[in-house]
């Protein structure tokens, strides 16, 4: 089968524009599954060949939608919105090819599995704290799942934890303290490292880096300390956008090593391993050491910065290479080599 026999499909949100633009640039057909309320946005872009409209994001798993994806011989690209609205069981049950390794998405969603994969990859990892009684020093308290940082707070002892957990419960963001995950707070500079691993070429590529612009935590520094103290402000890490980062060149070697180690470990723990795009998320501490606090086992929205390529992809490719286009290139390569099974699950 040739390139035009396949369609690259995704859900209308997160990084859909970049994904489908990249697919079109590589000569593939494109399909967007889109909620009705978002149609007017996506209709503006002529690189989207076909739009399948649904009432709700979760309808992507409906027979009607899966039927359309099958008819068009689609490869579905998972992203943050897909995994925010579907649980691991639902994703694993989708009966059409999903780009990358869908089994590893469960390891992203489950905090314990996530911690295990990071630790066994020999990354320096921000410690998780089992009980509020063990909080000593600064901690960040997170909601489970891809919450996009909403509702996260800082605690420094049991009392500060309980007070803020109660606030979230009052706001109906959690049902109780059991919905919270406590992690050691790492002081330094947050950075999100975007990688792509090809099971065909067996090469890892660093495609870019970003930091997030988060509300309201990134606004706190605009208020003098006196007002911060007296106003009793509530904080949150709600992602509003992304800011590009170019790493010091001396940090690049260890970035590649971390990516490689993560890929190698994932081959043993979650076969066939971390194929396709992924992101290591952490903080460079004051010694310049990267302490990982999370990973995403799929494309991250920070790659939207590099629709025209990044300072790293430009070193490898003589043409603009976004993460979306890199994914489409892998699909093309797999079609040529008759290896679609290797890049999908």
- Which residues of this protein are in contact with ligand ATP, per CB under 6 A? 80, 126, 140, 142, 146-149, 152, 183, 185-186, 190, 212, 214, 237, 281, 283, 293-294, 296
Q: How far is the CB of 333 from ligand ATP (least distance, A)?
A: 28
Name which of 112 and 319 has its Cβ closer to ligand ATP: 112
Looking only at the bridges linking them, the beta strands covering 29-35 and 7-11 are parallel
Q: How far apart are CA 262 and CA 256, in angstroms?
A: 10
Q: How far is the CB of 79 from ligand ATP (least distance, A)?
A: 10
Q: How far apart are CA 282 and CA 260, in angstroms?
A: 16
Q: How far is the CB of 50 from ligand ATP (least distance, A)?
A: 28
Cβ of 228: how many Cβ atoms within 10 Å? 12
Name which of 148 and 273 has its Cβ closer to ligand ATP: 148
Q: How far is the CB of 214 from ligand ATP (least distance, A)?
A: 6
Name which of 323 and 334 has its Cβ closer to ligand ATP: 323
Q: How far is the CB of 173 from ligand ATP (least distance, A)?
A: 13
Name which of 217 and 335 has its Cβ closer to ligand ATP: 217
Q: How far is the CB of 139 from ligand ATP (least distance, A)?
A: 8
Name which of 98 and 283 has its Cβ closer to ligand ATP: 283
**CA 118 to each of CA 84, 123, 266: distance values in angstroms, whole numbers, following the listed order:** 21, 6, 9
Name which of 10 and 183 has its Cβ closer to ligand ATP: 183
**Do the beta carbons of residue 10 and residue 33 sit within 8 Å?**
yes
3-state secondary structure of 224: coil
The three-point CA angle 206-194-266 to 5° equals 90
Q: How far is the CB of 245 from ligand ATP (least distance, A)?
A: 12
In our burial notation (b when 16+ CB lie closer than 10 A, e otherwise), range 85-106 reads: bbebeebeebebbbbbbbbbbb
Cβ of 20: how many Cβ atoms within 10 Å? 27
Q: How far is the CB of 38 from ligand ATP (least distance, A)?
A: 19
Q: How far is the CB of 204 from ligand ATP (least distance, A)?
A: 20
**Do the beta carbons of residue 295 and residue 262 sit within 8 Å?**
yes
Q: Which residue number places its CB atom closest to ligand ATP?
A: 146
Name which of 35 and 214 has its Cβ closer to ligand ATP: 214
3-state secondary structure of 194: strand
Q: How far apart are CA 108 and CA 216, in angstroms?
A: 25
Please enumerate in sequence order all residues whose Cβ is within 8 A of that of 114, keeping only pairs 6 or more positions apart, or say none.
107, 108, 294, 295
Name which of 189 and 340 has its Cβ closer to ligand ATP: 189
> What number of CA atoms fall less than 13 Å from residue 227's CA on the CB side?
6
Name which of 10 and 30 has its Cβ closer to ligand ATP: 10
- Per the listing, tokens 């390529």 go with 309
Q: How far apart are CA 104 and CA 269, in angstroms?
A: 9
């Amino acid at each position: 089968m040739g390139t035009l026999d396949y369609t690259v499909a995704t859900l209308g949100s997160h990084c859909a524009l970049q994904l489908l633009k990249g697919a079109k640039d590589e000569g593939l057909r494109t399909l967007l599954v889109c909620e009705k309320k978002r149609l007017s946005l996506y209709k503006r872009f002529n690189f989207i060949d076909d739009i399948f409209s649904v009432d709700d994001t979760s309808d992507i798993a409906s027979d009607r939608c899966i039927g359309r994806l099958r008819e068009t011989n689609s490869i579905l690209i998972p992203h943050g919105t897909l995994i925010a609205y579907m649980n691991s069981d639902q994703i694993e049950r989708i009966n059409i090819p999903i780009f990358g390794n869908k089994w590893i998405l469960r390891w992203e969603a489950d905090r314990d599995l996530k911690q295990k994969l990071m630790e066994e990859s020999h990354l320096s990892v921000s410690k998780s704290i089992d009980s509020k009684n063990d909080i000593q020093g600064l901690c960040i308290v997170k909601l489970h799942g891809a919450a996009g940082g909403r509702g996260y707070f800082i605690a420094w002892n049991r009392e500060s934890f309980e007070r803020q957990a109660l606030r979230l419960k009052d706001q109906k963001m959690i049902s109780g303290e059991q919905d919270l995950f406590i992690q050691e707070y790492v002081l330094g500079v947050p950075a999100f490292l975007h990688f792509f691993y090809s099971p065909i070429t067996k090469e890892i590529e660093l495609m870019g880096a970003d930091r997030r612009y988060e509300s309201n935590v990134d606004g706190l520094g605009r208020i003098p300390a006196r007002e911060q103290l007296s106003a009793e402000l509530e904080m949150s890490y709600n992602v509003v956008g992304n800011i590009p980062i170019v790493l010091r060149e001396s940090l690049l070697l260890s970035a590649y090593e971390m990516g490689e180690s993560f890929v190698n470990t994932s081959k043993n723990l979650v076969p066939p391993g971390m194929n396709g795009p992924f992101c290591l998320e952490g903080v460079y501490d004051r010694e310049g050491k990267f302490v990982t606090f999370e990973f995403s086992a799929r494309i991250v929205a920070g790659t939207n910065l590099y629709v025209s390529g990044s300072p790293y992809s430009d070193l490898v490719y003589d043409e603009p290479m976004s993460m979306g286009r890199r994914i489409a290139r892998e699909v093309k390569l797999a079609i040529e080599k008759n290896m679609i099974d290797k890049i999908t699950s």
